[in-house]
Amino acid sequence: MRIVNLTNNNVICENCGLADTLITRTVGLIGKKKLDKDEGLLITGCRSIHSCFMAFPICAIFIDKSNKVVKVIENFKIWRISGWYIKADRVIELPPMRASETLTKKGDKLAIE
**Domain range enclosing 92:** 3-112
What residues are paired with 69 via a beta bridge?
A: 63
Q: What is the dihedral of CA 20, 80, 15, 13, to 10 degrees?
A: 110
Total number of domains constituting the chain: 1
DSSP at 79: S
Predicted confidence (pLDDT) per residue in 21-57, tens digit: 999 998 999 999 999 999 999 999 999 999 999 999 9
Give the integer Cα–Cα distance in Å for 85 and 70: 8
Give the integer Cα–Cα distance in Å for 104 and 75: 14
Q: pTM for the complete prediction?
A: 0.96
The CATH number of whichever domain residue 8 belongs to comes to 2.60.120.1140
Predicted confidence (pLDDT) per residue in 60-96, tens digit: 999 999 999 999 999 999 999 999 999 999 999 999 9
DSSP at 81: B
